[in-house]
Amino acid sequence: MLDKVNKLIIDVQAFNTKNKEEIEVFRIKYLGNKGILKELFNAFKGVDSTLKKDLGQALNNLRNTAVNKVNELKDDLTKNTTKKFVYGDLTRPSEAISLGSRHPIAIVKNRIVEIFSRIGFNISEGPEIEDDWHNFTALNLPKHHPARDMQDTFFIETDPAILLRTHTSSVQVRYMKNNKPPIRTISPGRVFRNEDISARAHCIFHQVEGLYIDTDVSFADLKQTLSYFTKEMFGKSKIRLRPSYFPFTEPSAEVDIYWGLETEIDYKITKGTGWLEIMGCGMVDPNVLKNTNIDPKKYSGFAFGMGIERIAMLLYQIPDIRMFYENDIRFLEQFKSVL
Ligand code: PHE
């Protein structure tokens, strides 16, 4: 009987499977109520007492080996399943990669740039930190000129003045200094004004300004160019120019587009008039041309400038300018479908 038990120990040690049912069959075979061990322990009772010591040890050994084997195989099984879980089902379709979206300011800027590039305007850029000359003096705003108060300025240094540009007209000054007419350029960029933040105004915003200088450029060219732009941008080409004042243009005008009065929102945003102010413009003041070494007797030109936030607010009916800078994903995601 001892030989039989030792042989069974070897069998048990050699047993292997990765199948849950087979493990259970094995367990019942050896350790079950009517299993081999039960049977052997029963037979053990009738064995001659001189043999009991060795046989008893062997039987205990067999039982422990079988118990360990079952536990070991079950452990392996759970390890295998976690391994499977890590790799997952490789045939499943993958999850969609979520795409980002452009910021509405970038979308509108790109559209404006694209519309003007179709009629031959290039893009020019300049520094956000400017000196007094490029931001003010060259633009016919000498020191102590009252019109400087129209654009509350963030100064970095006072003497000589270094500041955050208050408009992208400073880029046009640089462009005029470095290029000879004909000039057709638009300058998009970020500008800074020391203003209280509210639903309609922010101390940091974006502008696009345009400049056209050549021989015989007239006010009619300006009006034609702007109505082309408003048609492409808003699908509305009816505009009117109201006299206004900018130190760097003469004459100067404020541009309104006829928005219409079809919906309640139209009434609200146009204050019941149907007209909406969208930008400033004018004929470049001869002093500005002189300041940038362009001969005002030979050349003339027009300039215009608009706030990108304002245009975006109109296009997408955004009620509060602060939404552009909060980076709230729920706001930004709404522009996903727009290029
Ligand atoms: N620079 C002006 C502003 O920031 C806009 C403007 C540009 C007006 C060009 C006329 C001509 O308000």
Q: Would you place residue 50 in the very low, low, confident or very high pLDDT band (cuts 50, 70, 90)?
A: confident
Residue 150 has pLDDT above 80, yes or no: no
Nearest CA to ligand 1 atom 4: 167
How many angstroms is it from 178 CA to the middle of ligand 1? 20
pLDDT at 303: 97
pLDDT at 92: 84
| Range 2-37 burial, b when 16+ CB lie within 10 A, else e | eeebeebbeebeebeeeeeeebeebbeebbeeeebb
How many angstroms is it from 327 CA to the middle of ligand 1? 28
How many angstroms is it from 317 CA to the middle of ligand 1? 24
Query: Of all residues in the chain, what percent carry a pLDDT higher than 90?
Result: 58
| Range 54-63 burial, b when 16+ CB lie within 10 A, else e | ebeebbeebb
pLDDT, average across residues 94-100: 81
Distance CA 221, CA 143 (A): 32
pLDDT single digits (tens) 161-189:
899 999 999 999 999 999 999 999 999 99
For residue 280, what are the β-bridge partners? 254, 305
Mean pLDDT of the chain: 90
Comparison of pLDDT for 248 and 88, the residue scoring more: 248
Residue 86 has pLDDT above 70, yes or no: no
Q: Sheet containing 275-284: which strands, arranged edge to edge?
A: 122-123, 183-192, 204-214, 300-307, 275-284, 249-258, 239-246
pLDDT single digits (tens) 236-262:
889 999 999 999 999 999 999 998 888
Residue 137 has pLDDT above 80, yes or no: yes
pLDDT at 93: 85
**Is ligand 1 within 6 A of the CB of residue 116?**
no
**Is ligand 1 within 6 A of the CB of residue 259?**
no
Distance CA 162, CA 154 (A): 9
Positive/negative CA dihedral, 53, 59, 64, 65: positive
Q: Would you place residue 1 in the very low, low, confident or very high pLDDT band (cuts 50, 70, 90)?
A: confident
pLDDT single digits (tens) 257-287:
998 888 888 888 888 899 989 999 999 999 9
How many angstroms is it from 185 CA to the middle of ligand 1? 14
How many angstroms is it from 270 CA to the middle of ligand 1? 22
**Is ligand 1 within 6 A of the CB of residue 305?**
yes
Q: Which of 172, 209, 254, 309 to mutate to test the pocket of ligand 1 (most atoms within 8 A of CB)?
A: 209
